[in-house]
Chains A and B, each alone.
Chain A
Amino acid sequence: MKRIPTLAVAACLAFTAACGSSGASGSGDPDPNAVLRYTTSAGATSFDPHKTVSASDFIVLNLVYDRLVHQDADGQPVPGLAESWEFSDDFKTLTFHLRTGLSFEDGTPFDAEAVKANLDRAQEPDSISAPLLSAIDSVDVVDEATVQLNLNSPGVHLVLTLSDLAGMMVSPEAFATPDGAQALAADPNGIGRFTLGESDPGSHYVFEAVEDYWDEDALQLGGLDFSVATDPQTNLNAVSSDQADCALVSPAMIAPAEQIPDAETKARTVLTQTVLYFNQTKSEFDDPLVRQAVNLAIDRSAILEGAQEGQGEASEGLFPSDYFVPNDTVADKLAYDQAAAKELLAEAGLPDGFSFTAVTLTIPQFVTTAEIVKAQLAEVGIDMEIKALPPADLGVNFLKGTGDAVITGWTGRPDPSMLFSAYFDEASPQNVSRTEPAGFDEALAAANAIEDTAARGEALAKVQELVLGAGLVAPLTFNAVGTVCNNRVTGYEPTVVGISEFRGVGMTD
């Protein structure tokens, strides 16, 4: 293994251009034939981006499917299979100008007809993306390289929505027949940096680099060997003993990862967060005063220290502090103030507190978080009982009425409107209470009619104000997620969404 002087690494970090690509930790030119061995905690349940049931499949699928729109490390949209896009003045027509001369893995040309077929499929009732694309009324083919989306409401949010599973392009030939569509679950057929060579579903995948990929800067590898290990320590051990080149690092593993010699850990606060989400139809949570009191009774910094080793961020809103949606209008609603919490409880007619059951995941970080919240709530007279359920059961059981609140993780979504729609829109299946605050739809529609990032952030902050003003959820902490890579790996940059796409990542000899 090549050891790189500390000074050289520091220089690399300071002057990224000098290292060939951003955030490089290795030295020298990447070897175009190198195969990067990556180990992480989850594989893909299906290689069909539209018909999978797991949003986290994106982690694997982005390697073989490009989207219309891609994201930069800060989560902002950049051109993908669409070279550019524009909205009509009323934001109810979205036109994509497509890259030309590309074809799918099976040789089918990529054109406007292919995009229409994909977007139509992504809107079918059994598609995971259908609720996210409900603003699309129809898709028109303007010419071979132009496609127009006709919307029923302003749709700026669709740009980032189409940087997720919804915007992944599959060869229309592959889903032309029911058998072909079924085969997609195990055999992807898209346009991407890699094709799937071998797979052992859920545990091991071998990806081979494609020749003449359209974005040559994004592909610096000859292949990617992707393994899944359920134990986070095992992933670190793999890098320590040179069985893997990179491994996913969860908050609790950042400090141990930083101790690995000849390796570098890059982590950042991501959109994935831990929340205490109320079922407003149960316990005392129909009263906004009670929900607000719970929000004020929680010391989020203590949770960050106790459950996440200080890695990440104590929540001041529904988005991290460096994100484009500002939290300043809601920070006081989440400020730790036991006296104010007690006053609100008294005002709600509960001066002696009340009892409720919180369900959570059987994962140490969440159990610890729940224990800390329980102790903090006890100080204002609220008795919280904890019931831990396995990850596969928690969400579904909570939606079916188990527990009065849930302490769980909300994964990062490319566009903030996706988070708001999923948990606070009264029509969303994930909104356990089936209610929404007054003015919610209007505020969200207004935010989706602004294209300028900063101005849209302000408008989305108003939606956040409605949600947290009503205390619909108690955001607790943001995760820090990253990757530890040995020093042969170059160009790795953690993203705010928390998913390593490995675009531009290479390996030196």
Chain B
Amino acid sequence: MNAGVVASRTLSMLGRRLLALVPLLVIVSLATFSLIFLIPGDPAHRIAGEGATEAQVDAVRSDLGLDQPYYEQFLSFLGNLLQGDLGTSYTFRTPVWEMISARMPITVSLTLVAMVFALLIGIPAGVFAARRAGRWQDRVVTVGSTLGLATPNFVLGLLLTLVIGVKLQWLPATGYVEMAEGFWPWLSHLLLPGFALGVIAAAEIARQLRASLADVLRQDYVRTAVAKGMLPNAVVWKHGLKNALMPVVTVVGIQTGYLLGGTAVVETIFGIQGLGDFAVRAVLAGDLPAIQGMVVFAVIITVAASLVVDLTYGYLNPRGESQ
């Protein structure tokens, strides 16, 4: 198929996806705005504090526009959202976007390290198991990945921090430093939380890859390649893997969303002040704009990840109709 047709299909798919994003964001913003009804108590009173007089509570209510009808509050929320304004945190009186963008590099770094762990463990384990499908090595990988899936990241996180961080002191048990302070200090702070976060994704990737690669390795063209005298490693890595990667790419896309969710727990355990930690604090404080901001942000990231997955499909399978 010629490259022009592929590019035009990709562009058209991208356009459709971006268009679909508009109603999705409206629905998500309505749902997040509705959180105001789900959180018990009077937000104005909560912000003004327990010792506030009724006059002080009323002043806060009017200051934040909480005395306006709900539809007006929603329209104003939506209008601000369209301009990229996620509102101002009730607790810290700071723009939510400012707080999210300050923490974004931290969580992106953590997610990146987690994903590298997931791929570095998941792909070799999946290939190893697929090449020995049905043998004891395959079962070991299957049991291992089941264990990985079954172990909650907070259990693994606590174990890692206590054993490797506190007891052995091989790696920092808590905190985060910016890459500006050096690559190793940055990476060393992310290895334990990144591993704790990435293990579930690694297990999922290993399972999916094992299944799809084992299937591909039974195909005729693989058998032909082997019959032609191609080395087994070359068959697996050059022919088998590219065709077996589609389900893995799907898993990676889905896991990006899960990883973002997982940071809430992992960042709390490792004392990392990223977006997950921010979301936890926002919920504990009942800080509605911060919660809404995080939900909208998470939706955008998840949609973006799924878009990247679709584009990758196009690369891996140029003949296929884009999903």
Contact = CB atoms under 8 A, between A and B. Distances in A.
Interface string B131-170: 0000000000000000000000000001001100110010
A93 B161 CA distance: 58
Contact of B270 (A234, A399, A428): A234
Interface string B204-229: 00000000000000000000000000
Interface in A46-77: 46, 53-55
B175 A390 contact: no
A230 B270 contact: no
A388 interface: no
B280 A237 contact: no
Contact of A241 (B53, B93, B173): B173
Contacts of B269: 231, 234
Contacts of A242: 169
B312 interface: no
Contact of A227 (B52, B158, B166, B175): B175
A240 B284 contact: no
A269 interface: no
A429 B52 CA distance: 6
Interface in A225-253: 227-231, 233-235, 237-238, 240-244
B55 A125 contact: yes
Nearest to A427: B53
A125 B60 CA distance: 12
Contacts of A395: 50
Interface string A382-424: 0000000111110111011000000000000000000000100
Contacts of B278: 203
Interface in A145-173: none
Contact of B281 (A128, A202, A244, A429): A202
B134 to A, nearest CB: 44
Contacts of B158: 233
Given A53-B47, A393-B46, A397-B40, A126 B59 contact: yes
Interface residues of A, number: 46
Contact of A200 (B53, B103, B162): B103
A196 to B, nearest CB: 14
A302 interface: no
A198 to B, nearest CB: 10
B83 to A, nearest CB: 21
Nearest to A228: B273
Contacts of A428: 51
A243 B52 contact: no
Q: Which interface residue of A39, A230, A392 has the most chain B CB atoms within 10 A?
A: A392
A54 B285 CA distance: 12
Nearest to A362: B284
A16 interface: no
A243 B161 CA distance: 12
A201 B99 contact: yes
Given A46-B93, A53-B47, A54-B49, A392 B286 contact: yes
Contact of B51 (A131, A230, A237): A131
Contacts of A244: 174-175
B91 interface: yes
A307 B280 CA distance: 25
A234 B59 CA distance: 38
B12 interface: no
A202 B166 CA distance: 26
Contacts of A201: 89, 92, 94, 99
Contact of B271 (A39, A45, A393, A397): A39
Contacts of B30: none
B50 A429 contact: yes
B42 A230 contact: no
B172 to A, nearest CB: 5
Contacts of A128: 49, 51
Contact of A238 (B53, B91, B173, B283): B173
Interface string B267-290: 011110100011011011111000
A234 B99 CA distance: 22
Interface string B97-135: 001001100000000000000000000000000000000
Contact of B173 (A46, A202, A237, A430): A237
A428 B51 CA distance: 8
B42 A400 contact: yes
B323 to A, nearest CB: 40
B53 A230 contact: no
Q: Which interface residue of B40, B162, B175, B278 has the most chain A CB atoms within 10 A?
A: B175
A429 B51 contact: yes
Nearest to B164: A241
A186 interface: yes
Interface string A179-200: 0000001100000000000001
B182 interface: no
A54 B51 CA distance: 9
Contacts of A282: none
A99 interface: no
A204 interface: yes
B41 interface: yes
Given A200-B102, A393-B286, A400-B45, A53 B52 contact: yes
A45 B92 contact: yes
A201 B269 CA distance: 20
B56 interface: yes
Given A39-B271, A235-B271, A391 B284 contact: yes
Interface of A: 39, 45-46, 53-55, 125-126, 128, 131, 185-186, 200-204, 227-231, 233-235, 237-238, 240-244, 389-393, 395-397, 399-400, 422, 428-430
12 contacts: A45-B92, A125-B55, A203-B277, A227-B271, A234-B174, A234-B268, A393-B39, A397-B41, A399-B45, A400-B42, A422-B51, A430-B51
The 10 closest A-B pairs by CB, nearest first: A241-B173, A203-B273, A395-B50, A392-B286, A53-B49, A229-B271, A201-B92, A234-B271, A238-B174, A240-B166
Given A53-B48, A234-B271, A237-B271, 11 more contacts: A125-B55, A126-B56, A128-B51, A186-B94, A201-B94, A202-B91, A240-B173, A243-B175, A392-B285, A392-B286, A428-B51
